[in-house]
Amino acid sequence: MQQALEAADAVRGWTSPNPWVGCVIESPAGEVFTGATEPPGGRHAERVALDAAGDAARGATVWVTLEPCAHTGRTGPCADALVEAGVARVVVAVEDPDVRVAGGGIARLRAAGIDVELGTLADAVRAQLAAYLKHRSTGRPWVVLKVGASIDGRTAAPDGTSQWITGGAARADAHQLRAESDAIVVGAGTVRADDPSLTVRNVEGKDPIRVVLGTAPVGAKVLPALEFSGELGDLLDELGGRGVLQVLVEGGATVAGAFHRAGLVDHYVVYLAPVIFGGDDARPLFAGNGAETIADVWRGAITAVTPLGGDVRIDLSPVGPSPVTGPVSVVRIGDVPPVSDPASGGA
């Protein structure tokens, strides 16, 4: 299953709106064949591995990170393909919450007399497929908030300048986040102040859908973009309906604060640079009112700390109700002041 996880990780960013799945087949003779989901329209992981295995799949054991599909889309059901190949055993990490599957694939395998085991490395796969699992469970995308800041928690100088706080390694890592996301959100103030292109550079990957909260000026590099004014929850509903599995919020302090206070962020990525502004007049991570007392502060869990050149990436996740099932707050966002919300890190 670990090999299947690694195979899935290698195609992250290329398969959406389909899940990034890995599959490993071990033949009775001990031969190993690996597959991963291809870009939309291509083969699912199970079919890639089955095609590689050929006749060696008969009587084999299959490890797959997500329940084999049981419906016909651009390809036929993977559960049927496994049955036809004559595999003897299938080890599945997690069930697929998609209503077209939802246990149907496992049921089809068992009905054909195939031994099915569920739950191997389930936590690791749930983390890897968090965006897909949330989208299929709620209809909304997984929301990642990314900020770049000085060691004293500031994102821009008092005059609004912010390029570049972090170094090249951190910026390349942030572009990898873009490549893994289907949409990227900024405020109109960021667009006017920094004129970012919000494309994927320094790494391989597709450019995300660009979303501007408010109206982008004519000729802005971010165009063409989806311009949106309204409730953030409505935006997530619209993007989810478009098949967006993961949204990267790269706006400045106003947009970051709005998503944070609304409880809409599923994962935080903070890049800290060895830079000190040394005062309280520089721009903060979040604009707006924060917690009034220590009892009300947001508390999360640090899930990873990664050195990136001279900078550090800190990953945080909320603690408490699952972001998939927990309550959702509503915040309304429109146009923001021209230079009040510079993007942290820019570009």
91, 94, 106: which is closest to 136 by C-alpha?
94
HSE toward the beta carbon, residue 162, CA cutoff 13 A: 30
d(CA 165, CA 161): 10
Give me 121's structure tokens.
């490395």
Burial class (CB in 10 A: 0-12, 13-18, 19+), 72: exposed
Q: Give the count of beta carbons closer than 10 Å to the beta carbon of residue 284.
A: 18
167 CB contacts (<8 Å, ≥6 apart)? Answer: 273, 308, 309, 310, 311
d(CA 131, CA 324): 10
DSSP string, 287-299: -S---SSGGGS--
d(CA 36, CA 59): 21
HSE toward the beta carbon, residue 64, CA cutoff 13 A: 33
Distance set, CA 78 to CA 40, 43, 65, 111 (Å): 15, 9, 13, 15
Catalytic choice (6, 31, 38, 46): 46
**Local structure of 175: helix, strand or coil:** helix
| Tokens 């640090």, residue located | 302
DSSP string, 86-132: T-SEEEEEE---STTTTTHHHHHHHHTT-EEEE-TTHHHHHHHTHHH
- Amino acid residing at 189: G
d(CA 115, CA 61): 9
**67: annotated active-site residue:** no
What residues act catalytically? Answer: 46
